[in-house]
């Protein structure tokens, strides 16, 4: 029987790895060096909502100081701009499920400094991971939950239990992207419920994109009502209010 390494070499030669963004051949990486270098990583941002902040602006934005969200911190890997916007659209609406792993890796990389005590976002690390749920009708329509596809590799990499049945969406409201900014919090009010007691849990809630933060806030309220002591949000990308199309 030939060594496993031999077959890996054969497969790599026959089916070389290609960059998920530009399609160029890579060294078994998801991104080629050029695309990795230009990924719009978020940099300095508010630890509560991940809004990008200018240098020396502190760690919390004015909006979160005036109206603190019900979640404790947001860890966003990148800004919602090219090429992440295109890739997330392809993943979510084009059913390119192979993008789940490289997109999840961006979330993992964003979370690791906090988990290692190198970020003020986590005074205490999370104990469990869960995904932002879809309504039953939306999941049937789409065929999968993009947040769940991201949460699986995140939980595995961080070696944390994945909760698959704790949080449910009980309100099939219109898509956030179709609504004016001011209506989004009302649209998701009371949209979530918990199926289990979460007393003492510190949760990392995974989603693909955050824009207004309304969906994350509604989910965090339900999680806290079920006893969660801390709710962190982890997303691939943080969008601004100017980037409405297709963004939750």
Report the distance separating Cα 81 and Cα 96, nearest Å: 18
Instruction: Give all domains of the chain, ordered by start, each with its CATH number.
Output: 1-38 (no CATH), 39-238 (3.40.50)
Per-residue pLDDT reduced to its tens digit, 194-244:
999 999 999 999 999 999 899 999 999 999 999 999 999 999 999 975 544
pTM of the predicted model, to two decimals?
0.85
Q: How many CA atoms lie within 13 A of 189 on its CB side?
A: 6
Is residue 118 pLDDT above 60, yes or no? no
201 close to 127: Cβ distance less than 8 angstroms: yes
Q: What is the CA radius of gyration of the chain?
A: 18
Q: Are strands 230-238 and 202-210 parallel, antiparallel or unpaired?
A: parallel
Quote the tokens at residue 138.
């939306």
Per-residue pLDDT reduced to its tens digit, 174-184:
565 554 555 55
Backbone angles phi, psi at 18, to 5 degrees: -130, 145
User: Helix 146-158 vs helix 100-115: angle between axes, to the nearest 10 degrees?
Assistant: 50
Report the distance separating Cα 17 and Cα 241, nearest Å: 36
Per-residue pLDDT reduced to its tens digit, 8-65:
343 344 446 888 888 888 876 788 999 999 999 998 889 999 998 887 777 899 999 9
By residue count, the chain amounts to 248
Please spell the DSSP secondary structure of the chain, one letter per residue: ---HHHHHHHHHHHS--B-TTT--B-SS-SS-HHHHHT--B--SB-TTT--B--TTS-SS-HHHHHS--SSSEEEEEEES-TTHHHHHHHHHHS--GGGHHHHHHHHHHHHHHHHTT-STT-SS--SEEEEPPPPHHHHHHHSS-HHHHHHHHHHHHHT-PEESSSEEE---PPPGGGS-GGGHHHHTTT-EEESS--TT-EEEEEEEEESSSHHHHHHHHHHHHTT-SEEEEEEEEE--TT--TT--
């Amino acid at each position: 029987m030939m060594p496993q390494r031999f077959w890996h070499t054969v497969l790599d030669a026959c089916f070389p790895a290609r960059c998920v963004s530009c399609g160029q051949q890579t060294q078994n990486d998801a991104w080629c060096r050029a695309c990795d270098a230009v990924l719009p990583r978020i940099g300095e941002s508010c630890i509560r909502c991940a809004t990008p902040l200018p240098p020396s602006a502190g760690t919390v934005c004015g909006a979160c100081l005036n109206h603190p969200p019900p979640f404790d911190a947001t860890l966003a890997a990148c800004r919602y701009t090219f090429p992440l916007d295109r890739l997330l659209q392809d993943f979510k609406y084009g059913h390119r499920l192979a993008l789940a792993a490289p997109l999840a890796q961006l979330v993992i990389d964003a979370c690791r400094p906090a988990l290692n005590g190198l970020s003020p976002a986590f005074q205490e690390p999370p104990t469990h991971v869960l995904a932002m749920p879809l309504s039953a009708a939306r999941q049937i329509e789409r065929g999968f939950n993009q947040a769940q596809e991201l949460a699986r590799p995140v939980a595995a990499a961080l070696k944390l239990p994945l909760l698959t049945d704790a949080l449910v969406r009980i309100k099939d409201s219109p898509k956030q992207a179709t609504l004016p900014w001011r209506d989004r919090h009302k649209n998701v009010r009371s949209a979530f419920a918990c199926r289990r007691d979460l007393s003492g849990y510190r949760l990392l809630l995974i989603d693909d994109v955050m824009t207004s933060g309304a969906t994350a806030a509604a989910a965090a309220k339900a999680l806290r009502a079920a006893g969660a002591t801390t709710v962190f949000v982890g997303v691939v990308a943080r969008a601004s209010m100017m980037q409405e199309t297709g963004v939750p």
